[in-house]
Amino acid sequence: MDYRAAFPLIQRRQTPVRLFNVSRLLLMMALIGSSVVLAETATDALIKQVQERYNGARTLSVDFTENYSIEGHPRPPETGTLTLRKQGKMRWDYSRPEGKLFVSDGKNVYLYTARDNRVEKVPLKDTEDMRAPLAFLLGRLDMKKEFRDFRVRPGEGGTWLDADAKNDRMPYEKVEMLIASDGSVRQLKVAGRDDSLLAFSFNNEKLNPRIGDQLFHFAVPAGAEVVNSMDFGSGEK
């Protein structure tokens, strides 16, 4: 048998197969590349929608339900109303438990519990309380400066936007936000570095209600014990 004559025949028979494999590889690479681009586009569009909604607002009011657990052990849910004003001002009025109050005047954070008639105070910049990150909603919101490694996934009533803390100095390591079609945050989950989870559900959001600065002025109740603390994190629930 003349192998020199046979080799070109074998080569000709294999060439279409080789071209098919190369074409299939190129197609797979194109599909993967398209998927990555689409995912990035969807993520960027969702981030932009949230930022435009909240950057355009000066005040916000919303009802919340708060759930907290540490090392898998849940505590009773709490409810109330959250009020935000630009430049780091916030007020959490709790209806359950009654008499609990969390206030930020833009410089300091105060946690008051009527049950103990006790006030805990800490500078806003030093607080490790995981309610504090919500102040970013009415700051100059730039999510890519606050967080990193964004992911999106479908959710009931919206789209989940997951992200990691920008650096290890943050008291939390991951956040998950359920974003509705109008760009509003309907749920928020904050995973702490101490194996805690703080989860919120939000309803009845109102953008730009009339709210005066006096709402964020904290007056120490008569006879209350005042504790200046550099760390009264979410363990004080």
- The answer to whether residues 185 and 175 touch, using CB atoms and an 8 Å cutoff, is no
Domain range for 197: 53-228
Residue 161 lies inside a defined structural domain of this protein: yes
Q: What is the pLDDT of residues 40-64, one digit of tens each?
A: 588 999 999 988 888 888 999 999 9
- Alpha-carbon distances, residue 189 vs 102, 121, 201, 218 (angstroms): 19, 24, 9, 27
Residue 203 lies inside a defined structural domain of this protein: yes
Residue 26 lies inside a defined structural domain of this protein: no
Domain containing residue 100: CATH number: 2.50.20.10
- The answer to whether residues 47 and 151 touch, using CB atoms and an 8 Å cutoff, is no
The C-alpha atoms of residue 120 and residue 235 are separated, in whole angstroms, by: 13
Query: Closest Cα partner for 155 from 205, 201, 206, 207?
Result: 201
**Percent of the chain surpassing pLDDT 70:** 73
The C-alpha atoms of residue 237 and residue 223 are separated, in whole angstroms, by: 21
Q: Looking at the DSSP assignment, which residues form a beta bridge with residue 199?
A: 67, 189
E strands, the chain, in order: 59-70, 73-74, 78-85, 89-96, 100-105, 108-113, 118-123, 147-155, 158-165, 172-179, 185-192, 196-207, 225-228
Q: What is the pLDDT of residues 126-135, one digit of tens each?
A: 776 666 656 6
Residue 4 lies inside a defined structural domain of this protein: no
Count of domains for the chain = 1
Residue 63 lies inside a defined structural domain of this protein: yes
Sequential pLDDT tens for the chain (237 residues): 443 433 333 344 444 444 444 444 444 444 444 444 445 588 999 999 988 888 888 999 999 999 999 988 999 999 999 998 887 788 999 999 999 999 989 888 899 999 999 999 988 777 766 666 566 666 666 788 878 999 999 999 999 999 998 888 777 899 899 999 999 999 999 898 889 999 999 999 999 999 999 999 999 999 889 898 654 444 444
Task: Give pLDDT, residue 139.
Answer: 62
Residue 5 lies inside a defined structural domain of this protein: no
Instruction: Please state whether beta strands 73-74 and 59-70 pair in parallel, antiparallel, or not at all (unpaired).
Output: antiparallel
- The answer to whether residues 150 and 43 touch, using CB atoms and an 8 Å cutoff, is yes
Task: Give pLDDT, residue 122.
Answer: 87
Q: What is the pLDDT of residues 201-232, one digit of tens each?
A: 999 999 999 999 999 999 999 988 989 865 44
Task: Give pLDDT, residue 165.
Answer: 87
- Tokens encoding 210: 């009339």
Residue 88 lies inside a defined structural domain of this protein: yes
Global pTM exceeds 0.85: no
Taking CA 90 as the corner, what is the angle to CA 89 and CA 91, rounded to the nearest 5 degrees?
140
Task: Give pLDDT, residue 150.
Answer: 93
Residue 148 lies inside a defined structural domain of this protein: yes
* Mean confidence (pLDDT) of the chain: 79
